[in-house]
Amino acid sequence: MDRTLTCRTADDMEALGREIGETCVPGTVISLRGSLGAGKTVFAKGVARSLGIQEAIVSPTFTLVQEYDGRIPMYHMDLYRITSEEDFQMIGGEDMLYSDGVCLIEWSEIINSMLPSGTLFVQITVNDDQSRTVTLKGGLK
Ligand SMILES: Nc1ncnc2c1ncn2[C@@H]1O[C@H](COP(=O)(O)OP(=O)(O)OP(=O)(O)O)[C@@H](O)[C@H]1O
Ligand SMILES: [Mg+2]
């Protein structure tokens, strides 16, 4: 996939997450990139909704990973606070990457070299008017 689009509002971002969520299959890995408050968790919420998850979705900044039961299990990670690949191993991160779930990873830069080849990269940039430019790259299709 190689697509760039604009999300004017948080609702647009959630809708984009829902659209991408429809394409998720067991083993899908999505790397969410962008500054603090860019909208990574809003996107993750959209994915969750299309997987049939109704729970509130919040950045797992302190728990590092949050698991949700949906049509496919969803593992939502926020690696902002981890400092090494070893930390990622300790939380069972690699097992989740190769599980039957969908993995969404905020702040995945630290485990770049561990991301599977079919990872979908979602890069979010905040524009002056608060809209977001979103670039989607990679993925299995
Ligand atoms: N166009 C937009 N797209 C997405 N979010 C927007 C947009 N405009 C405003 N927002 C607001 O920006 C905030 C994005 O917060 P969110 O928690 O998703 O960011 P994040 O990238 O996950 O940050 P963090 O790195 O702290 O986890 C929300 O409060 C959302 O309502
Ligand atoms: Mg977040």
Residue of 14, 41, 61 best suited for mutating to test ligand 1, as the one with most atoms within 8 Å of CB: 41
CATH number at residue 46: 3.40.50.300
Ligand 1, CB within 6 Å, residue ranges: 7-10, 12-13, 34, 36-42, 59, 106, 130-132
The count of other CB atoms within 10 Å of the CB of residue 58 is 13
Q: Which domain holds residue 21?
A: 2-138
Q: Which atom of ligand 1 is nearest to the CA of 36?
A: 25
Instruction: For 9-62, write each residue's pLDDT tens digit.
Output: 999 999 999 999 999 999 999 999 999 999 999 999 999 999 999 999 998 888
For the chain, how many structural domains are there in total? Answer: 1
The closest alpha carbon to 56, from 71, 36, 76, belongs to 76
Could you tell me if 14 and 45 are in contact, meaning their C-beta atoms sit under 8 angstroms apart? yes
Could you tell me if 45 and 15 are in contact, meaning their C-beta atoms sit under 8 angstroms apart? no
Residue nearest to atom 24 of ligand 1 (CA): 36
d(CA 91, ligand 2 centre) in Å: 18
On the question of pLDDT at 86 being above 80, the answer is yes
Indicate the burial class of 75 (C-beta count within 10 angstroms; 0-12, 13-18, 19 or more). Answer: buried
Could you tell me if 92 and 86 are in contact, meaning their C-beta atoms sit under 8 angstroms apart? no
Please name the residue that has the structure tokens 């968790």.
Answer: 41
